[in-house]
Chains A and B, each alone.
Chain A
Amino acid sequence: MNWESVIGLEIHVQLATNSKIFSGASTSYGAEPNAQACAVDLGLPGVLPVLNERAIEMAIKFGLAIGAKINLHSVFDRKNYFYPDLPKGYQISQFETPIVGEGSIVIALEDGQERTVGITRAHLEEDAGKSIHDLFPGQTGIDLNRTGTPLLEIVSEPDIRTSKEASAYFRQMHTLVRYLQICDGNLAQGSMRCDANVSVRPYGQEEFGERTEIKNINSFRFVERAIDYEIGRQIDVLESGGIIERETRLFDPDRDETRSMRSKEFSEDYRYFPDPDLLPLTFSQALVDKIALTLPELPDAKRARYIEEFGLSEYDARSLSADLDRSDYFEAVVNTCNNSKQATNWIMGDLSAYLNRNNLEISASPVSAQQLAVLISRLDDQTLSSKTAKALFDGLWNKADSEQSVDDLISEMNLAQVSDDGELTGIVEQLIADNPGQFEELRNGKDKMLGFFVGQVMKMTQGKANPQQVNEIIRAKL
């Protein structure tokens, strides 16, 4: 039988506020365990939550960016469950009236096709703490630093059909929240995590099959692998006559499989009710309008502009605009050297290769945008050949000093092309004298010999001669 999978994602985005959503404790990552868990976060008796206005503004900003309805009136609810890393016994979340209503986002697939994925809603909530299972024999260590970090949970419609679409959607969301600067986007530190709801149905069937939920996936790659495994597992179960049970599963990247997480007798029952500690959240359309004015150029608009303004290909434009730091770097280079083609080639080529090899982000590039721009200008004015430019790039990379003058380094490394006619003519004449046979052949129309002479000149000048100029000098001798 042919099966079709139906996928919806819930993405949890940690908002980049300084303090927590309901307390004044710091949200910075990597502190000593429990050094950032204050009385409110610990749920000590007598404390009350007070809402962080920045988290509200960030949620509104996100809602505007996906064309969603912003609810001027929303309510915080308690989601009740027991777990040691949730000290209050409930998580403050939004259930019936989220701050952000329906919207949508456009994703691009590998073949360049675009698809629109509906967003059901996005709501504010607090993050839980962390349970450490492998540090203390027979016990679980609890670190509550993360408790109360503001989260925006973005719930998609079940519009996604393949694991590739799911990861494209996750990536696009990552790009968007980075553009909006509402999240640092650091997946390794858990700044963005996603849960995937997966079901399968016979191709052509309208109603959905029973779904399972895969929890806490924290990489673009794992999203694909977890969903692929789960689709295969569900099809196997159904084809051997079994039924899919609605359950929560966990992806194990080491074994590349999902496994059941909660025992079934223990059905989830969160008993949501409005949190009496928090009044309804109400704000004015004027605030929404004010935030709308702060929206940056969004990825789709930037990509279109790169094609229009710089003549980039769809692929290059998409790649350069997919990451905010990368597009900033690109524009800084182009603004100085005015050569978008070379800027694109260097950033997508050598720079990316060097960064990948050293596992560096472009924001930490040892070669600054300014330096790369000057390098490109020196290529343009033929001070450098493509070969010496690469040597210079390597030199700049190793210096790793944004103050280093590019022109000084060109002299220091002796990379400037020999473009002195007299010097080059001397070399050519010497070569002709040393290789009379070859020169005769060239004279008799054997054009291949031109390559030989140019090659010899390049060799003698260590690649610093301007090949075009050498060509001209040799032709003049014929």
Chain B
Amino acid sequence: MTDIDNSNINITHLARLGRLAIAESNHANTTQELENIIAMIDAMQSVNTDGIEPLSHPLDSEQLLRADVVSESVSRETFQKDAPRTEDGYYLVPRVVD
């Protein structure tokens, strides 16, 4: 799905996507670690999987379904105790505008 290979790891971009603060001094280090992971994936890619259906889940089982009934009652107060800021029932975050 992704087409990253060892030659084009952009650590700044990846850190931003993952919302990770990676110190400049650690960039080389982290890049090396990622390269090692990709090398491992490359090794797996070399296994011949011709004629094998892709597996989307390791468990050989099927999705169970639930009936369409409202079964949860929500205690907003309890949930909002853990939130840094709330007001009038809303969770508040720093202003985000696209």
Asked if A120 is at the interface of the complex by the 8 Å CB criterion, the answer is no
Q: Which residues between 1 and 25 of chain B lie within 8 Å of chain A, taking CB atoms?
A: 1-2, 13, 16-17, 19
Docked complex Cα distance between A269 and B1 (Å): 11
Asked if B62 is at the interface of the complex by the 8 Å CB criterion, the answer is yes
Whether A19 touches B70, Cβ cut-off 8 Å, given contacts A281-B63, A282-B63, is yes
Q: B68 touches which one: A52, A266, A271, A282 (CB < 8 A)?
A: A52
Whether A75 touches B76, Cβ cut-off 8 Å, given contacts A140-B96, A271-B2, A271-B17, is no
Contacts of A83 in B (CB 8 A): 96
Whether A139 touches B92, Cβ cut-off 8 Å, given contacts A53-B68, A279-B63, A282-B63, is yes
B16, chain A: closest CB distance, angstroms: 8
| Given contact pairs A51-B64, A136-B87, a sample of 4 additional A-B residue pairs in the complex whose CB atoms are under 8 Å apart | A33-B88, A40-B72, A75-B56, A140-B96
Docked complex Cα distance between A14 and B17 (Å): 28
Instruction: Pick 21 A–B contacts, CB within 8 A, sort by A.
Output: A19-B68, A24-B66, A26-B72, A32-B89, A34-B76, A34-B90, A50-B64, A54-B67, A75-B56, A133-B95, A136-B92, A138-B95, A141-B90, A142-B90, A142-B93, A143-B89, A266-B16, A274-B56, A279-B57, A280-B56, A280-B62
Asked if B30 is at the interface of the complex by the 8 Å CB criterion, the answer is no
Most buried by A among B56, B69, B70, B79: B56
Asked if B65 is at the interface of the complex by the 8 Å CB criterion, the answer is yes
Contacts of A44 in B (CB 8 A): 79
Contacts of A38 in B (CB 8 A): 72, 74
Binary CB contact string for chain B from 51 to 65 against chain A (1 if under 8 A, 0 otherwise): 000001101011111
Asked if B97 is at the interface of the complex by the 8 Å CB criterion, the answer is yes
Considering only CB atoms and an 8 Å cut-off, how many residues of chain B contact the other chain? 38
Which partner residue on chain B sits nearest A16 by CB separation? B68
Whether A136 touches B66, Cβ cut-off 8 Å, given contacts A25-B74, A35-B74, is no
Asked if A276 is at the interface of the complex by the 8 Å CB criterion, the answer is yes
Q: Is the CB of B57 within 8 A of A274?
A: yes
Docked complex Cα distance between A138 and B93 (Å): 9
Identify the 7 closest CB pairs spanning chains A and B, nearest first: A24-B71, A141-B90, A54-B68, A53-B65, A33-B89, A38-B72, A274-B56
Q: Is the CB of B72 within 8 A of A34?
A: no
Q: Is the CB of B70 within 8 A of A26?
A: yes
Binary CB contact string for chain A from 12 to 35 against chain B (1 if under 8 A, 0 otherwise): 000001110001111000001111
Q: B63 touches which one: A17, A32, A136, A278 (CB < 8 A)?
A: A278
Q: Is the CB of A19 within 8 A of B69?
A: yes
Asked if B80 is at the interface of the complex by the 8 Å CB criterion, the answer is yes
Binary CB contact string for chain A from 392 to 411 against chain B (1 if under 8 A, 0 otherwise): 00000000000000000000
Contacts of B91 in A (CB 8 A): 34, 84, 141-142, 144
Asked if A261 is at the interface of the complex by the 8 Å CB criterion, the answer is yes
Asked if B50 is at the interface of the complex by the 8 Å CB criterion, the answer is no
How many pairs, one residue from A and one from B, have CB atoms within 8 Å of each other in the complex?
Answer: 137
Docked complex Cα distance between A51 and B66 (Å): 6
Q: Which residues between 53 and 86 of chain A lie within 8 Å of chain B, taking CB atoms?
A: 53-56, 75, 80, 82-84
Whether A282 touches B62, Cβ cut-off 8 Å, given contacts A33-B90, A131-B96, A276-B57, is yes
Most buried by A among B1, B19, B69, B90: B90
Chain A residues within CB distance 8 Å of chain B: 17-19, 23-26, 32-40, 42, 44, 50-56, 75, 80, 82-84, 97, 131-133, 135-136, 138-144, 250, 261-262, 266, 269, 271-274, 276, 278-282
Contacts of B98 in A (CB 8 A): 250, 261-262
Contacts of B95 in A (CB 8 A): 133, 138-140
Contacts of A17 in B (CB 8 A): 68
Whether A143 touches B90, Cβ cut-off 8 Å, given contacts A271-B17, A282-B62, is yes
Contacts of B79 in A (CB 8 A): 34, 37, 39, 42, 44
B59, chain A: closest CB distance, angstroms: 6
Docked complex Cα distance between A38 and B76 (Å): 8
Contacts of B74 in A (CB 8 A): 25, 34-38
Q: Is the CB of B94 within 8 A of A140?
A: yes
Contacts of B87 in A (CB 8 A): 136, 141
Docked complex Cα distance between A83 and B91 (Å): 13
Docked complex Cα distance between A52 and B70 (Å): 11
A249, chain B: closest CB distance, angstroms: 10
Docked complex Cα distance between A140 and B64 (Å): 37
Q: Is the CB of A18 within 8 A of B68?
A: yes
Which partner residue on chain B sits nearest A95 by CB separation? B1
A44, chain B: closest CB distance, angstroms: 8
Docked complex Cα distance between A39 and B80 (Å): 11
Which partner residue on chain A sits nearest B96 by CB separation? A140
Docked complex Cα distance between A250 and B17 (Å): 22
Contacts of A42 in B (CB 8 A): 79
